[in-house]
């Protein structure tokens, strides 16, 4: 047993043989060295001459690097040993031949002995290199055996993975077949639902026609009841009219009887007077008796007539009361029938609305079931695609396993050429694929478990719904016949057989009961169908919940991405807003500077205008003083005019000058043409070019008018006005 690099002990079969061969090969090489009298020589061009001058390390590297396979190197070493043995034999023959020529070769003996020593040293080096080569060969054999074991283990693992993958594939195929069968069943159910929908549509159309017939019957019965009520009202009115006529006749007869009585009394009184007048000799007692007897006879006759009329009135009142009572009873019976028919109509309408709502619910559930079936089909398509991908992966794994088996079966010579890194990489790849397949199978198992739980929940809900529908059906079966019958506690008024046909009413009631029974049967059928649809709906609701959860996850992801995008956009917007704020701040600073400049310019202009206003005020004061002086002069001239002529001659000149001045002022104010100075109140210039601002005293009118033409030609560059130059500008000291 030789120790290997991996720690295992492998049987050393090749090493003893190599050692024996080396021992047998080296013994002849050593024997010539021990002959003291032998003289050897190496012929040039022989195989031994190739190894002359080579060290043991060179020989070991040459032997180890000459061939990569270990067995090939062993064979080459064996060939070299055989060659060395041949050389040894040849040398021995040469030495035997050289014994005869010892005299000639004695000088070369020392050199040959030295060469032999070197050859012996080289042989020992070769033996050492051979031992190291044998050791490396043993180590390589042990590594090859470990690699073969690892390959066998990997092949076993691959077989196991392949068997597990095939088992999983069979399970997935069976699940896929189950799902396909479920899809087929769902398609059949959908087709059955479509057939049921068509049947329900037909049933609804039949029911609608029956309801329209019932409505027409109820309308006809209502019309007949209205006609009967009108007829009864007409009869009551006729009875009332007859009673009123009898009462009027009775009153007429009473009035006629009273009139007759009064006439008879008058006649009796007239006859008594006539009798008194004609037969006075008769005794008054006899006359009174005769008159009283006649009166009694008449009174008896009248009393009998009055009693007869009272009897007739009483009989007519009784007949009128009976007519009132019969009419009231008939009206009450008619009202009860109308109310009963209205209640039946309301109940039928309520049942119709309930059935319509139920049909709407069934249609909605069918629509949701269709959508769910489409979603299930889409999920099944995705599952089939995933299964196809898994099958493709399994086929790829099978191909790789087949390649590995073919490589393993190709012989032990090709297996060592495959590096350990490649085998470990393949093994890791197989493990990863195995884990992926296990994960996919776990997902499928979880989906199947969830579907089974959802189906159990749906079955439980379906059982509860069936119990509720049975309870409602029983309740309807108890209530409908009670609503169809008449309340026995109410007193039934027998209508007149000529106007109310009880047979038709009973037939209608029987028909309505039959319709109600048919509706009950249809309701039970619809309840059963509804149970089936409800079970399918429950099956589909669980899948909708799963899809909703997936949608929620997607929405959360989308919201997170949107939040990130919004944050990025917000940051960009903040940066843009900050840049805009900086620009606005710069603009605001520029505007503030401009505003400050404009304020400074306006303040400067205001100062200039204030100076002008002050100068104008000063000028107005001067003009007022001048007006006062002129008034004083005019007063003095008036005083002097009263004293002498010379003063009279002077006064008109001053007055004329003042008058001319006032006339000029009036003309300027009247015409208003051109510019008028507000200081001197003369046209042709303004307050800036007025000459009165330069002098303290006012100029005379004549001189100003004489110089006005010359001053209009002058132009000032400072104030940009005419009438003066820049040297004589009145604003040079005030403004500028």
Q: Per residue in 552-585, pLDDT tens?
A: 777 777 778 778 878 888 888 888 888 888 888 8
Tokens matching residue 454: 């959802």
The DSSP 8-state label assigned to residue 384 in this structure reads: H
HSE-up of residue 49 (Cα within 13 Å, Cβ side)? 6
Greater pLDDT, 476 or 672: 476
Rounded Cα distance, 155 and 65, in Å: 33
Rounded Cα distance, 158 and 164, in Å: 10
Give pLDDT tens digits for 190-248.
Answer: 787 777 777 877 877 787 787 778 778 777 877 887 887 788 778 777 877 877 787 77
Greater pLDDT, 683 or 118: 118
Greater pLDDT, 588 or 673: 588
Cβ distance 29 to 95 under 8 Å? no
Per-residue burial over 344-373, b if 16 or more Cβ lie within 10 Å, else e, is beeebeebbeebeeebeebeebbebbeebb
Tokens matching residue 449: 């478990």
Residue 2's DSSP bridge partners are: 10
706 pLDDT band, cuts 50/70/90, is: very low
CA quadruple 251, 253, 259, 265: dihedral, nearest 10: -120
Would you say how long the chain is, in residues?
A: 736
- Per-residue confidence (pLDDT) for residue 663, from 0 to 100: 44
- Per-residue confidence (pLDDT) for residue 571, from 0 to 100: 85
Span 60-74, average pLDDT: 54
Rounded Cα distance, 700 and 657, in Å: 9
Q: % helix / strand / coil in the chain, to the nearest 5?
A: 85, 0, 15
Cβ distance 316 to 243 under 8 Å? yes
Rounded Cα distance, 540 and 399, in Å: 41
Tokens matching residue 367: 């629509």
Greater pLDDT, 649 or 343: 343
- Examine the pLDDT at 47 and tell me if it is beyond 60: no
Give pLDDT tens digits for 537-550.
Answer: 677 677 667 766 77
Cβ distance 682 to 704 under 8 Å? yes
- Per-residue confidence (pLDDT) for residue 721, from 0 to 100: 77
| Mean of all residue pLDDT scores within the chain | 68
- Per-residue confidence (pLDDT) for residue 67, from 0 to 100: 42
Greater pLDDT, 155 or 564: 564
Q: Which of 52-66, 166-180, 622-636 has the lowest mean pLDDT?
A: 52-66
Per-residue burial over 74-109, b if 16 or more Cβ lie within 10 Å, else e, is beebeebbebbbebbebbbebbeebeeeeeebeeeb
Per-residue burial over 211-230, b if 16 or more Cβ lie within 10 Å, else e, is beebeeebeebeeebeebee
- Per-residue confidence (pLDDT) for residue 103, from 0 to 100: 60
- Per-residue confidence (pLDDT) for residue 2, from 0 to 100: 41
424 pLDDT band, cuts 50/70/90, is: low
Q: Which of 86-95, 350-359, 440-449 has the lowest mean pLDDT?
A: 440-449
Residue 715's DSSP bridge partners are: 722
Residue with tokens 């899948």, as numbered in its chain: 543
User: Residue 54 contacts by C-beta under 8 Å, 6 or more apart in sequence?
Assistant: 62, 122
Q: How many CB atoms lie within 10 A of CB 112?
A: 20
- Examine the pLDDT at 139 and tell me if it is beyond 70: yes
Cβ distance 27 to 18 under 8 Å? no
Cβ distance 615 to 601 under 8 Å? no
Give pLDDT tens digits for 498-508.
Answer: 445 566 666 66
| Selection from 25-29, 115-119, 356-360 with the highest mean pLDDT | 115-119
Percentage of the residues of the chain whose pLDDT score is greater than 90: 0
Rounded Cα distance, 416 and 147, in Å: 7
- Per-residue confidence (pLDDT) for residue 697, from 0 to 100: 42
Greater pLDDT, 143 or 650: 143
Burial (CB count <10 Å: 0-12, 13-18, 19+), residue 28: middle
Cβ distance 526 to 358 under 8 Å? yes
Residue 716's DSSP bridge partners are: 721
Span 511-525, average pLDDT: 70
Q: Which of 339-353, 597-611, 661-675 has the lowest mean pLDDT?
A: 661-675
Q: Which of 135-139, 152-156, 158-162, 519-523 has the lowest mean pLDDT?
A: 519-523
Task: Give me the sign of the Cα torsion angle 213, 218, 219, 225.
Answer: positive
Greater pLDDT, 39 or 355: 355
Greater pLDDT, 428 or 227: 227
Q: Which of 5-9, 170-174, 429-433, 687-691 has the lowest mean pLDDT?
A: 5-9
Q: Which of 281-295, 418-432, 480-494, 670-684 has the lowest mean pLDDT?
A: 480-494
Rounded Cα distance, 166 and 401, in Å: 13
- Examine the pLDDT at 482 and tell me if it is beyond 60: no
- Per-residue confidence (pLDDT) for residue 236, from 0 to 100: 74
- Per-residue confidence (pLDDT) for residue 477, from 0 to 100: 61
| Selection from 188-197, 383-392, 673-682 with the highest mean pLDDT | 188-197
Cβ distance 658 to 634 under 8 Å? yes
- Per-residue confidence (pLDDT) for residue 244, from 0 to 100: 78
- Examine the pLDDT at 356 and tell me if it is beyond 60: yes
């Amino acid at each position: 047993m030789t120790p290997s690099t991996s720690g295992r002990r492998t049987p050393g079969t090749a090493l003893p043989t190599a050692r024996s061969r080396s021992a047998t090969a080296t013994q002849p090489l050593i024997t010539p060295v021990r002959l003291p009298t032998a003289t050897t020589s190496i012929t040039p061009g022989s195989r031994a001459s190739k190894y002359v001058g080579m060290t043991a390390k060179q020989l070991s590297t040459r032997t180890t690097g000459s061939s990569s396979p270990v067995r090939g190197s062993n064979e080459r070493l064996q060939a070299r040993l055989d060659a060395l043995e041949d050389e040894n034999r040849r040398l021995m023959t040469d030495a035997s031949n050289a014994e005869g020529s010892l005299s000639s070769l004695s000088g070369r003996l020392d050199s040959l002995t030295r060469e032999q020593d070197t050859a012996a040293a080289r042989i020992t080096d070769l033996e050492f290199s051979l031992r190291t080569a044998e050791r490396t060969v043993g180590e390589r054999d042990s590594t090859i055996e470990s690699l073969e074991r690892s390959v066998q283990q990997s092949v076993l693992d691959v077989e196991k993975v392949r068997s597990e993958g095939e088992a999983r594939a069979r399970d997935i195929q069976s699940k896929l077949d189950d799902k396909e069968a479920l899809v087929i069943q769902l398609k059949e159910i959908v087709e059955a639902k479509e057939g049921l929908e068509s049947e329900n549509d037909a049933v609804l159309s039949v029911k609608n026609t029956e309801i329209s017939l019932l409505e027409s019957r109820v309308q006809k019965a209502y019309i007949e009841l209205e006609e009967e009520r009108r007829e009864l009202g007409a009869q009551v009115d006729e009875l009332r009219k007859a009673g009123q006529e009898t009462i009027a006749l009775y009153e007429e007869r009473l009035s006629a009887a009273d009139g007759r009585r009064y006439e008879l009394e008058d006649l009796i009184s007239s006859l008594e007077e006539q009798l008194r007048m004609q037969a006075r000799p008769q005794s008054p007692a006899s006359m009174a008796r005769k008159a009283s007897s006649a009166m009694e006879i008449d009174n008896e006759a009248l009393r009998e007539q009055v009693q007869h009329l009272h009897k007739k009135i009483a009989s007519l009142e009784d007949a009128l009361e009976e007519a009132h009572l019969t009419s009231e009873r008939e009206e009450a019976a008619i009202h009860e029938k109308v109310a009963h028919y209205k209640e039946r109509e309301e109940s039928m309408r309520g049942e119709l609305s309930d059935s319509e709502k139920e049909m709407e619910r069934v249609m909605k559930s069918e629509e949701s079931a269709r959508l769910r079936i489409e979603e299930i089909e889409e999920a099944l398509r995705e599952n089939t695609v995933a299964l196809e991908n898994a099958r493709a992966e399994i086929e790829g794994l099978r191909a790789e396993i087949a390649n590995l088996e073919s490589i393993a079966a190709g012989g032990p010579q090709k297996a060592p050429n495959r590096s350990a890194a490649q085998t470990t990489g393949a093994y890791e790849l197989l493990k990863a694929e195995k884990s992926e397949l296990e994960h996919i199978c776990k997902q499928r198992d979880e989906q199947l478990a969830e579907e089974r739980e959802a189906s159990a929940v749906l079955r439980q809900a379906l059982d509860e719904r069936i119990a509720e529908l049975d309870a409602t059906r029983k309740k309807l079966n108890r209530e409908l016949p009670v609503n169809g019958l008449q309340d026995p506690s109410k007193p039934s008024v027998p209508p007149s057989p000529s106007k109310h046909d009880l047979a038709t009413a009973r037939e209608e009631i029987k028909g309505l009961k039959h319709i109600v029974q048919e509706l009950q049967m249809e309701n039970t059928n619809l309840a059963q169908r509804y149970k089936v649809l409800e079970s399918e709906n429950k099956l589909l609701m669980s899948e909708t919940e799963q899809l909703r959860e997936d949608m929620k996850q997607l929405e959360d992801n989308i919201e997170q991405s949107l939040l990130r995008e919004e944050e990025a956009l917000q940051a960009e917007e903040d940066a843009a807003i900050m840049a805009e704020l900086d620009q606005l701040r710069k603009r605001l600073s520029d505007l503030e500077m401009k505003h400050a400049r404009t304020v400074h310019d306006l303040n400067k202009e205001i100062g200039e205008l204030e100076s002008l206003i002050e100068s104008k005020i000063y000028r107005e004061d001067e003009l007022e003083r001048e007006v006062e002086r002129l008034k004083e002069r005019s007063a003095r001239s008036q005083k002097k005019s009263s004293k002498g002529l010379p003063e009279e001659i002077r006064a008109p000149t001053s007055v004329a000058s003042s008058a001319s001045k006032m006339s000029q002022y009036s003309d300027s104010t009247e015409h208003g043409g051109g510019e008028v100075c507000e200081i001197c109140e003369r046209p042709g210039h303004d307050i800036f070019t007025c000459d009165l601002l330069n002098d303290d005293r006012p100029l005379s009118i004549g001189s100003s008018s004489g110089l006005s033409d010359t001053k209009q030609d002058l132009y000032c560059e400072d104030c940009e006005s005419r009438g003066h130059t820049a040297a004589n500008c009145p604003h040079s000291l005030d403004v500028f």
